[in-house]
A = this chain, B = another copy of it.
């Protein structure tokens, strides 16, 4: 089995449907195509270069950010604005087609995830996979997330940061 494209925690595998493996290039295309993207950023990358890169990505495309866990603090200390939600809260809002979205201009059509706890993120992605057909999900963590629509592969830190850099510049 290709260790890069099975779920990072292998038993997260949920059935025949698997995420599409994406490169920074494909990810970029997905973001460009989206009308109302959102970036959900979790506490796993508090105070790390990955966090900085992720916020750069958000800035580049003007993507509003939701922070989960206690990522809000780390982000705001870095001068980055986000809205704090629990991971399950934001997923719950995203699955409602009528939610007005973070900016109030309508539900999002693409959600990027980075830095959320792997297995909990996987569960949240599962919710969206099943109950939010109106949303595409893209994970730019260093872990392959089979429950997303599209995901980076499993990578080591170095390779991952290069992926993020590509996407950020």
Q: Which among A10-18, A82-90, A129-137 touches the partner chain?
A: A10-18
Is A6 an interface position by the 8 A CB rule? yes
Number of interface residues of A (CB under 8 A): 10
Dominant secondary structure of chain A at its interface with chain B: loop
Total copies of this chain within the assembly:
2
Is A29 an interface position by the 8 A CB rule? no
Q: Taking the nearest CB of chain B, how far is it from the CB of A153, in angstroms?
A: 15
Q: Which residues of B contact A18 (CB under 8 A)?
A: 1
CB <8 Å contact, B16 and A13: yes
Docked complex: A1-50 residues within 8 A CB-CB of B: 1, 6-7, 10-11, 13, 15-18
Known: A6-B16, A13-B15. 7 other contacts (CB 8 A): A1-B16, A1-B18, A7-B16, A10-B15, A10-B16, A11-B15, A13-B13
